[in-house]
Amino acid sequence: MINTERMTEHVMDLIRIDSPSRREKEVALRLEKEMKDLGAECFYDDAGDKVNGNVGNLIVRLKGNKSDAPPFFLSAHMDTVGPGEGIKPRVENGIIKSDGTTILGSDDKSGVAVIVEVLRTLKEQNMPHGDIEIAFTICEEVGLLGAKHIDISKFRSSYGIVLDSSTPSRLVLRCPSAVKMEFTVHGLEAHAGVCPENGLSAIKIASEAIAGMKLGRIDDITTANIGIIHGGRATNIIPNLVKAVGEARSHSEESLKAQVDHMRQCFHDAVSGYEVTIHDDLSLEGTVRVATLEEKIDRSYDRMDVPPGSVPARLVETAVANLGHKIEHHTSGGGCDANYFNKMGVECVNLGTGMYDLHTVNEYLVLEEFYRCSEIVLEAVKLNALNIK
Ligand SMILES: [Zn+2]
């Protein structure tokens, strides 16, 4: 039903347009033109201003040709991770990959291309459909910022599909909540050779905190990581400052809180053990100096947990069955724009587009799955127009 050749060319074209987070304008303008050519209305919200980007979320409405059909929401993100500039995609044995020096950017240009192909097919074949409302978002890769700041009042849909996961054989219904943590340890600077006893090493303190910390896969539904550490200035200076940045994610609020509390406790315990008395004046007692801790704990996003019996889940499942394929429900370890859309009242499932090894230079897109994803979305839109759920 869909035009696979056109889809392949289109996704390659989109991949060739650089669109790192906060610089999605060029790809947005291209999509805006394509959508207008199909007769859709387009506008940008002010999310770009809020995140210091060069463009907002591109919001598109294609008017339906069947007035009693409920509106349907579709979304994919326009930004990509690095290294993602000057990508040279090539087709090889049924997959698209980069030349190995950059990511491919099928995350999430493949989702974007699926949506465009679905709209083109609907138009060309004059298929019955209700209003289709689309969010081509910015800044998904830097904390779902486009979705976080989207003007949801612009949408009338109460459900839809986000195209931003791995395989169309799996339907993501659950994504975790996430918390970002920034710990700054303040020690005390001193000459490492002349008077090391006057120093408090922030590196040593932070090391103790992290060494005692449960990290990685905590349980079936919880993960944690310290991903960045900065500190120290020279080998002959006892370092007085270390910053460690990490995160925890869980499908359970209780487990998430327990993990965050644990990580904080590790830093508190490590810091509280360190003090030194400095005799730098005439008083006999000297001055007691202690290590201190600064914490910044921020909620990144809230979990999503879409019931298997929900309208979008059933639409996708029926579509998959009609096309003679299989799909299973999946719980993801990552967040996606759908976390926000669900929270804002647009119930969304996340369907895979055939992309693998994401966020690495080995990223690739399996064309058969990419095409299949489009057929599924097209079928779901048709079912929705017929009010079959
Ligand atoms: Zn993505």
Instruction: Give me the CATH number covering residue 136.
Output: 3.40.630.10
Q: 264 and 198, same structural domain?
A: yes
DSSP string across 25-40: HHHHHHHHHHHHHTT-
Task: Give the pLDDT score at 144.
Answer: 95
Residue ranges near ligand 1 (ion) with Cβ within 5 Å: 107-108, 164
pLDDT in tens, 230-242: 999 999 999 999 9
Give distance in angstroms: CA of 360 to centre of ligand 1: 12
Average pLDDT for residues 243-249, to the nearest whole number? 98
CATH code, 275: 3.30.70.360
45 given a catalytic annotation: no
What does residue 100 show for φ and ψ, rounded to 5 degrees?
95, -5
Mean pLDDT value across the chain? 96
Q: For 54-73, what is the mean pLDDT?
A: 95
275 and 343 together in one domain: no
The total of structural domains in the chain comes to: 2
CA distances from 326 to 53, 317, 370 (A): 40, 8, 15
Instruction: Say which of 34, 45, 79, 363 is annotated catalytic.
Output: 79
Whether 266 and 230 have beta carbons less than 8 Å apart is answered as no
CA–CA distance, 279 with 8 (Å, rounded to integer):
72
pTM of the model: 0.91
For ligand 1, the distance from its centroid to the CA atom of residue 160, given in whole angstroms, is 17
Dihedral through CA 236, CA 240, CA 246, CA 248, nearest 10? 130
Indicate whether 219 and 272 sit together in one domain. Answer: yes
* Ligand 1 centre distance from Cα of residue 108 (Å): 5
Share of the chain above pLDDT 70, in %: 98
Q: How far is the CA of 288 from the centre of ligand 1 (A)?
A: 51
DSSP 53-115: -SS--EEEEEPPS-TTSPPEEEEEE--B-SS-SS---EEETTEEE--SSS---HHHHHHHHHH
Q: Specify burial of residue 39 (Cβ count, 10 A radius: 0-12, 13-18, 19+).
A: exposed
Residue range 31-56, pLDDT digits in tens: 999 999 999 999 999 999 999 999 99
| pLDDT value at residue 286 | 85
**Spatial distance between the Cα atoms of 72 and 15, rounded to a whole number of angstroms:** 26
Both 45 and 62 in one domain: the answer is yes
pLDDT value at 383 more than 70: yes
| Residue that terminates a domain, selected from 235, 265, 300 | 300
Residue 100 and residue 35 share a domain: yes
Q: Are residue 149 and residue 210 in the same domain, yes or no?
A: no
Amino acid (1-letter code) at residue 193: G
Instruction: Please say if the pLDDT value at position 389 is more than 60.
Output: no
Rg over alpha carbons for the chain, rounded to the nearest Å, is: 25
For 297-348, write each residue's pLDDT tens digit. Answer: 999 999 999 999 999 999 999 999 999 999 999 999 999 999 999 999 999 9
Range of the domain at 99: 4-176+303-385
CA of 100 to the centre of ligand 1 (A): 19
Query: In this structure, are 22 and 163 located in the same domain?
Result: yes
Are 27 and 148 found together in one domain? yes
- 269 & 284 share domain: yes
Mean pLDDT of 260-289: 89
Give distance in angstroms: CA of 329 to centre of ligand 1: 18
Strand (E) or helix (H) holding 135: strand 132-137
Residue tagged active-site, from 32, 45, 140, 317:
140
Residue 281 confidence class, pLDDT cut points 50, 70, 90: low
Residue 387: the pLDDT is: 77
Nearest to 130 by CA among 345, 335, 388: 388
Amino acid at 200: L
Last residue of one domain, picked from the residues 300, 335, 356: 300
Residues 72 and 163 both lie in one domain: yes
pLDDT for res 43: 96
Could you tell me if 63 and 192 lie in one domain?
no
> From the centroid of its chain, how far is CA 317?
24
Residues contacting residue 233 through CB under 8 Å, at least 6 positions apart? 239
41 as an active site residue: the answer is no
pLDDT at 67: 87
* pLDDT tens sequence across 144-174: 999 999 999 999 999 999 999 999 999 999 9
Q: Tell me how far the alpha carbon of residue 368 lies from the centroid of ligand 1, in angstroms.
A: 19
Question: How sure is the predictor about 388, in pLDDT bands with cuts at 50, 70 and 90?
Answer: low
CA of 205 to the centre of ligand 1 (A): 36
Query: pLDDT band at residue 285, thresholds of 50, 70 and 90?
Result: confident
75-86 per-position pLDDT tens digit: 999 999 999 999
Distance from Cα 251 to the centre of ligand 1, integer Å: 19
85-126 pLDDT, tens digit each: 999 999 999 999 999 999 999 999 999 999 999 999 999 999
Residues in the chain: 389
pLDDT interval class at 61 (50, 70, 90): very high
Element (H, E) at 47: helix 47-50
* pLDDT confidence tier of residue 284, bands split at 50, 70 and 90: confident
Same structural domain for residues 188 and 172?
A: no
Between the CA of 276 and the centroid of ligand 1 the distance, in Å, is 49
